[in-house]
Chains A and B, each alone.
Chain A
Amino acid sequence: MTESLLEVRNLCRSFGSMRAVDDVSFVLERGRIYGFIGPNGAGKTTTMRILATLDVPDSGDAVLEGLSVLVEPRKVRDRVGFMSDQFEPYANLDVLQYLDFFARAYGLRGRERIDVVRSVASFCGLDSFATRPATGLSKGMGQRLHLAKTLLHDPSLLILDEPASGLDPRARIEFRALLRELSAAGKTILISSHILAELSETCDGVLVIEQGRLMASGKIGDIARSVRDRHRMRMRVLGEVEHAQRFLVVQPQVHEVRVVETSVEFEFAGDDEAAAELLARAVAGGLRIVEFVAQGANLEEIFMTTTRGRLS
């Protein structure tokens, strides 16, 4: 049983006649990673800014560990780390000076401050960049510095607005590893991104937003099932592929069977229970199965189905 960390209730925020966030409610559980996805201008940044107490909603509220962002913004700030999509470090400071300044700003002093700065910097892989000018870092290193700054006060909720945009594949994979470590350390992470493949590998849950409205939320698998009642499965067998194909076409809940190289792909309308039975029957039927995977949890598909036709 996981406890909830953040509860967002009927958040609304308009800019003039434009409803940037429209009646959004959701709950984030402790220690989980959540992906926040939606087309450009959907209201992700606006929602995150409200959660980080940098903007106020017209109505609704968000409660973090029992503290309302409207009533106790200062206490909420102690518990939230917000990494905005904008990062312009101070000129004429090196990486360590930059971190040291923010550590001091978070009220850390003396030896403790040095230790925290040191451990956060090494955690983010900034060790050998300590004396580089903060403004002269590559995009990837800059994002690490930005993340390091966000971690200094040991927040329980991390709100990351498109942290991986502009990073090369290696930097992205490394960044993802950092997020997993943070989550393992008990931090809740809300991360917005346009790179869906990346989110589907990291996130426990997703929130899909469009034109300010929350279109879907929950575990990726659950949403995928609710979005469409079938998901794609793939079975790789040793020996004759056609053998497996012949077996599958006559099975219940199995549709659109086709052979792709040495595997068979098909649409399956059953749940996990049914899938297990299907596998058992296949093995009993003499198929030598080496792979049996559901390709269902596809964020791109969720994204396209839940937001189709309403791109603003």
Chain B
Amino acid sequence: MSTVADRSLGFFERLSDRVSPILVRELQQAVTARAFAVTLGVASLVVMMMAVAFTWTDSSWRGGELGRDALGWCVICLAPIAVVVVPLQSLTGMRQEVVGGTAEQLLLTKIRPSRVALGKVAAGLAQFTVYLGVFAPLFGLAYLLRGVSFGSILLILYFGVLSNIAATAFAVAMGSLGKRRNQQQAAQALASIVLFSTSTGLMGGGYELIREFDQLLRAPEFWPVVLTVTVTFVLGTWLAVLVATAVLSHPYENRSTPFRVFGVGALAVGALWLLFVMDSGNRPESAGYLSALLALLLFPIWLWAPCEEEALSPRVRSYVPLRAGLLVAPFLPGGGRGLLYAVVLAALGVALATALPFLSTGVVHRSAEYATAAWLYAPFAGGLARAIRGRLPEGKRWSVVTFTTTVILFFVFALGAQVVLIFSRYASASSWNVLHIFNPFWTVFDGGPGWFHIAALVVVAGLLLLAGLPSIFRGMREVARAAADRRALVD
């Protein structure tokens, strides 16, 4: 029996001086856990059996493409490990920590919530790497049996790692969500469905995937595709980590700025992608579509911002940047500033679709109209949300109510307009009418919106913004005062 006194620095203790303690702890747990040993054993057995089977099969069978078969089996076995087994373990771990109160105890330590989330992702990756090691002989065999290039093996490993990171981050975020039991179960169910279907898709398309990778390696769009996939995965992981961090953080910490920065960051990444990955011939057209797509994908961020409570928390007020000016304010928490943020983001989105292609190629494609119409919904819906939020009491609960109400209002109005037009003698229900302005999808994609659609949107959004102006003004003044207070303290 070893006692405390005779304990010296062990491997893990020394390790945790250097890397994330969360990662070290997860590894320590995994090493002792029976489940991990069992899965690892089973995986090794499967690999061995497959290796034997492939070595004994006549290599002329299937026209010398046995290597491809072996690689296909690698994908089929590794896909569920990368996107189901490892992420679901992280999800369960996260959820147990939240439910059992360990997550809170961790928050009392010096570890920041973002580190907790990242540590879990890293631990997932470490586990997956062990599995990759187990499968290494099969990869080697696939290469020796011919039919696959070294490049496609590397590509598969690369995408495997990427999808494992993104899937684990997603799972950690979903595992942290939900205060009540039913919410947690809903989050877990949703995560399981998403991960399982992704895995099934990957397994089913295993062989196809390898063929496509082979072609991709020789195709001119190799780098654009790899870059695009990488960027998408990185953005997804970043967002998932932000969600987990926000959930775990102290309620008075600033949980808005990271998301608001993410919105702008996504546009910036889009701009870089257009400039450096897209060829200039296709740039104007893709700029419009990409910008419209981003407007849709970022909708939770730009709609949430105006839904927030108006005032800064005492905590955030105490560390507002000393020279917080007009540039910083939209990124600070608060609904009034959030409305301004929605406007700023929309302006940047429109610029991405118009100014960027115009400045770099001198051309603006018609697709920019889609983007403009789509982005106009940010001040439109945001203004509506702010008007609703302003009439509700303090408390985060009411921000959630505002968000859902705004979304539901759009549905109700869109349906209502349709019903009105069906019974109207003067207008046709099947062609666009100004009442359809509550139907973003129709408005944006009505055969490419004309100036009329955009003008109508500008008018509505403008009116709502006008109504929200006092709130924006209050938001700016609060920041200016908090900064002045801090400057007075510093001097």
Contact = CB atoms under 8 A, between A and B. Distances in A.
Nearest to B107: A54
Nearest to A89: B102
A73 B252 contact: yes
A93 B28 contact: yes
Max chain A C-beta neighbours (<10 A), residue from B251, B315, B317: B315
A118 B101 CA distance: 25
A86 B29 contact: no
Contact of B315 (A73, A118, A126): A73
Given A73-B252, A80-B108, A104-B16, A88 B314 contact: no
B102 A88 contact: yes
B2 A130 contact: yes
A71 interface: yes
A250 to B, nearest CB: 61
Interface in A31-71: 52-56, 68, 70-71
B491 interface: no
B101 A105 contact: no
B484 to A, nearest CB: 17
Interface residues on A, range: 35 or more
Interface in A84-124: 84, 86-93, 96-97, 100-102, 104-107, 109-111, 113-114, 117-118, 121-122
Given A101-B24, A105-B110, A131-B2, A92 B315 contact: no
Contact of A52 (B1, B4, B108, B253): B108
Contacts of B12: 97
A96 B313 contact: no
Given A70-B314, A131-B2, A149-B105, A104 B21 contact: yes
Contact of A71 (B5, B108, B314): B314
B17 A77 contact: no
A92 B33 contact: yes
Contacts of A131: 1-2
B63 interface: no
A101 to B, nearest CB: 5
A138 interface: no
A181 interface: no
Given A71-B315, A101-B28, A107-B110, 17 more contacts: A54-B107, A88-B101, A90-B25, A96-B4, A97-B12, A97-B25, A100-B13, A101-B21, A102-B109, A104-B21, A105-B110, A107-B109, A110-B17, A114-B7, A114-B8, A122-B4, A126-B4
15 contacts: A71-B318, A72-B318, A73-B315, A80-B108, A90-B25, A90-B29, A92-B30, A93-B32, A100-B16, A101-B28, A104-B24, A105-B109, A106-B110, A107-B109, A113-B17
